[in-house]
Amino acid sequence: MEVRSRKSAKQYYEDPLLQNLLEAIFNKYRGQNGVRGKVNVSVASIDEAIRLQEFFGGRLERLIRPGSTIELHLKVFAEEIAQGYKLNIPELYEVLNNVPLVTNSERRQLQEHAWHTLFEQANNRFANYMGLSASNLKLEESTFNWLQRLHDGVAPGYRIVQHTMRTNTEDSVEIIFHCLKALWYLFVEDDKMLQDIGSSVPWVPLQIFAEFITERDPHAFDKEFPAGRLLWHALDHIHTEQLKSGRITGNEHLLVPDFMKRRYIYRVSGILADDVSSYMHVFIPDEFYGITARTLNLNELHSSQNWFKPADLYIFENPSVFLFLVNETIHFFETNGIVLEQIPDCFPILVCPSGRARDACKYFIYQLLEFNPDCTIHYSGDFDLSGLQMKVNLEALGDIQVMRMDAVTYNEHVHPQNQSLTQQDVTILGGMRGDLPKAMAKQKKKVYQEEITKELREDWIQVIKKVLKC
């Protein structure tokens, strides 16, 4: 090979034209865990070909040209740097990068050690706080040995810990510790927890529980945060194991729709999710509720069945459009002399999810369909990505009929001055089925539901005239 003159190893091997060769050698060394095998290097340019020809000298019998592939055994390269600079491959890597060259096998060993240390530290924090190891019999039996299962990677949620560990080990330790502490108070010392919190009922709101466990953060177990997601996976896993073992029966669980599963698992574990912040708006004119729009939360829907009528459902995404149609309905009643006693049970229900299909809205639709499987659901929303995505979310509950939410209506109302869709939205819309998303992807403009209120009013008045036989 080429004579190195008086250059240092760092000066010599920092040559950019040798970087492809060195990268291939270092990657091969990592994968083979040592000086084994050979590398194949593709030559990208004339300059690189000339430089490699100089580097290899007489070791290659043929000329190196751009586009050609050269082959080199790691053993040959190792002998060369040992002779020229008294270095081995890992030492050369450290000279060039100021960090050790770690093989894949060594990296796995380091990761396994770090993973084991993480759980050891979390266990130590639990032991220091509780005065006993997390591996105690009570906790293991109550949680079906969740901690060990998480450590072994067979309990759901271990990837959450892995991801957090890559960014901050201390956070990972705290997350596991808080989940262990939470499980202890939910499944072992629940009476003490309720007494310390001052609760007279066997359920604790999620945020109050989180503050009790962390002693500072009422939102630590919200689903947006790793600790919240890990706790949810732990509770779900434990509930599944309880069902398998026969400790509990699954009759009620079988009746819970998928979108309510999280709230159900919380409740059977002793936690109350926030049912008040999940809300919707409805208009159900009858003798019981009168002629007024109501805001219902999930807690109200759970506690009463009076909301569910044998009627079709008309869902309008935006509160302004919903209120517009409510007022038009009331005006229609007044001008036509219609009193509450004349309004039949089958009078259609107006619903507004207020921009997002919260659990309250989904639960209302689910219960209405349970009560009346022949109910028809009509939907109208904004001509934007979220408006179409809400339709898709609602379609998971039943068949959806759209109101004026079609390509013809969109093209009639779209204008160059309308707000533009983002490029990401355009890309997603372009991949969706149907004429409407394709038209929106082409025009790249939004049309809000408020722009078609006149048409929606005409359709709605025709609906209620038919029901009232006016």
pLDDT tens per residue, range 315-339: 999 999 999 999 999 999 999 999 9
Beta pairing, strands 279-283 & 349-352? antiparallel
Mean pLDDT, residues 390-413 taken together: 91
Mean pLDDT, residues 174-191 taken together: 96
CA distances from 467 to 294, 331, 342, 344 (A): 22, 16, 11, 8
Q: Give yes or no for residue 255 having a pLDDT over 80.
A: no
Which residue carries 């901050």 as its tokens?
168
Q: Give yes or no for residue 61 having a pLDDT over 70.
A: no
Q: Quick check: 257 and 366 in contact, CB under 8 A? A: yes
* pTM confidence score: 0.69
Q: Give yes or no for residue 404 having a pLDDT over 90.
A: yes
Phi-psi region of 426 (alpha: psi -120 to 50; beta: other; left: phi over 0): alpha
Q: Give yes or no for residue 105 having a pLDDT over 80.
A: no
At residue 291's C-alpha, the angle toward residues 285 and 296, to 5°, is: 75
**Residue percentage of the chain with pLDDT more than 70:** 95
Mean pLDDT, residues 111-131 taken together: 91
pLDDT in tens, 236-254: 999 989 988 888 876 655 5
Q: Give yes or no for residue 461 having a pLDDT over 50.
A: yes
Comparing 42-56, 117-131, 386-400, 426-440, which segment has the lowest mean pLDDT?
Answer: 42-56
Question: Which among 82-86, 347-351, 352-356 has the top mean pLDDT?
Answer: 347-351
pLDDT in tens, 4-25: 555 688 888 888 888 888 898 8
Q: Give yes or no for residue 344 having a pLDDT over 80.
A: yes
CATH architecture for residues 279-468 = 3-Layer(aba) Sandwich (3.40)
What is the predicted pLDDT for the residue at 435? 95
What is the predicted pLDDT for the residue at 354? 86
Distance CA 383, CA 373 (A): 29
Distance CA 278, CA 257 (A): 16
Distance CA 462, CA 125 (A): 67
Mean pLDDT, residues 59-68 taken together: 76
Q: In the chain, where are the structural domains located?
A: 9-101, 105-272, 279-468
Q: Give yes or no for residue 381 having a pLDDT over 50.
A: yes
Look up residue 162 and give its amino acid: Q
Tokens matching residue 147? 């901690």
Confidence of residue 395 (pLDDT cuts 50, 70, 90): confident
Confidence of residue 59 (pLDDT cuts 50, 70, 90): low
Q: What is the mean pLDDT of the chain?
A: 88
Say which DSSP state 419 is in: P
Q: Give yes or no for residue 62 having a pLDDT over 50.
A: yes
What is the predicted pLDDT for the residue at 3? 46
What is the predicted pLDDT for the residue at 77? 82
What is the predicted pLDDT for the residue at 252? 56
Distance CA 19, CA 347 (A): 75
